[in-house]
Amino acid sequence: MTIPDLLPLALLLGLACNASARVSVAQSSGAAAASAAEPVLASPAAALAAPAADTATRAVDAPIQCSYCDEWNRQREPFKIFGNTYYVGPAGLSALLITTPEGHVLLDGGLPQSAALIAANIDKLGFKVADVRVIANSHAHYDHAGGISALQRLSGARVVASAQGAAALQAGQPTDDDPQASSGGEPRFHFAPAARVEVIPDSGNVRVGDVTLVAHYTPGHTPGSTTWTWQSCDAGRCLNIVYGDSLNPVSDDGFLYTDPARPGVVPAFYRSIDVVAHLSCDILVSVHPDFTKIDDKLAARERGVTPDPFIDTGACHAYAAEARRKLERRVAAEGAGR
């Protein structure tokens, strides 16, 4: 692998970008204020403070508007899930940080407008965005991948995904075989492409420090959908954590999961559900936190409920069972022409 050799440089670049991003924001607004008041003082040094190209590459991307976007993107205080695993996403879009002394893993980037919020949540926990080495994606829709490009620029991290997921991330829109591909014409389905996305094969892994993140391909909601697993330890107790991708069979009007032209789609979807049902699973966090009732678990934990409400060895099985019911209903509805 040549990529690890590049990491120290990438990290340095990330550190440099991250550190000067804040400075350049402050300097550019300061320079603007100064030049408005005292235009004569605009100097070569002031011009150098915020070079246009750097400012563009450090900026987060334009927000996407959608009916749920504001609700999804409400601020949520970051919190520890277990051991070195933290929730750093906004209220309605999960993003998880797994920390190690050798750098961190970030799962998902939310909407474009979530990137700044996720970065601020990482800061709040006392970690550095510049120390994020790997960003892994669940599925390449705008609400989970929209912030990845900006977070990659802020950190210099490698972005990893499934084969189909990598194609969509680098295109900045769903692939043509995505059940929501025809929504690609809508501006909200386009997002800033991520650079240099590395493909992790099914059951393959990516390591940062002592964390091994395993990719489980779970196609269905999108062709590239991926569920990620790892272990986190706390006081010598190690638990299996699952970041469960959506198993929701939603699509554009006109898309049929049972289309005879795509005979593999439904069997693959059922296989994905089986994969999730049989994972070693002590804690499940879903890509939309409400799918696994994160708010209820957090409230129960804050009330002092024990054992920890986040620890539930039946969670993956229940999540898969619900998905199976939804897919069965969807397949039956398509068969009935509804």
Scanning 141-149, 184-192, 272-280, 316-324 for contacts with Zn ion by CB under 5 A, the matching segment is: 141-149
What is the rounded distance in angstroms from the CA atom of residue 95 to the CA atom of residue 300?
21
By the rule CB under 5 A, 191 interacts with Zn ion: no
Which CB, 83 or 224, lies closer to Zn ion? 224
Taking the complex as a whole, how short is the minimal distance between the CB of residue 141 and Zn ion, in angstroms?
A: 4
Taking the complex as a whole, how short is the minimal distance between the CB of residue 54 and Zn ion, in angstroms?
A: 33
By the rule CB under 5 A, 141 interacts with Zn ion: yes
Scanning 45-53, 71-79, 133-141, 158-166 for contacts with Zn ion by CB under 5 A, the matching segment is: 133-141
By the rule CB under 5 A, 158 interacts with Zn ion: no
Taking the complex as a whole, how short is the minimal distance between the CB of residue 6 and Zn ion, in angstroms?
A: 31
By the rule CB under 5 A, 153 interacts with Zn ion: no
Which CB, 104 or 141, lies closer to Zn ion? 141
Contact code string over 82-121 relative to Zn ion, x by CB under 5 A: ----------------------------------------
Contact code string over 288-327 relative to Zn ion, x by CB under 5 A: ----------------------------------------
Residue nearest to Zn ion (CB): 141
The 3-class SS string of the chain reads CCHHHHHHHHHHHHHHHHHHHHHHHHHHHHHHHHHHHCHHHCCHHHHHHCCHHHHHHHCCCCCCCCCCHHHHCCCCCCEEEECCEEECCCCCCCCEEECCCCCEEEECCECHHHHHHHHHHHHHCCCCHHHEEEEECCCCCHHHHCCHHHHHHHHCCEEEECHHHHHHHHHCCCCCCCCCHHHHHCHHHCCCCCCCEEECCCCCEEEECCEEEEEEECCCCCCCCEEEEEEEEECCEEEEEEEECCCCCCCCCCCCCCCCCCCCHHHHHHHHHHHHHCCCCCEEEECCHHHHCHHHHHHHHHCCCCCCCCCCCCHHHHHHHHHHHHHHHHHHHHHCCC
Which CB, 141 or 297, lies closer to Zn ion? 141
Which CB, 95 or 298, lies closer to Zn ion? 95
Taking the complex as a whole, how short is the minimal distance between the CB of residue 144 and Zn ion, in angstroms?
A: 7
By the rule CB under 5 A, 287 interacts with Zn ion: no
- Count of chain residues binding Zn ion (CB under 5 A): 1
Query: 65: number of CA atoms within 13 Å, CB side?
Result: 0
Scanning 39-47, 135-143, 271-279, 306-314 for contacts with Zn ion by CB under 5 A, the matching segment is: 135-143
Taking the complex as a whole, how short is the minimal distance between the CB of residue 114 and Zn ion, in angstroms?
A: 14
| Site for Zn ion, rule CB under 5 A | 141
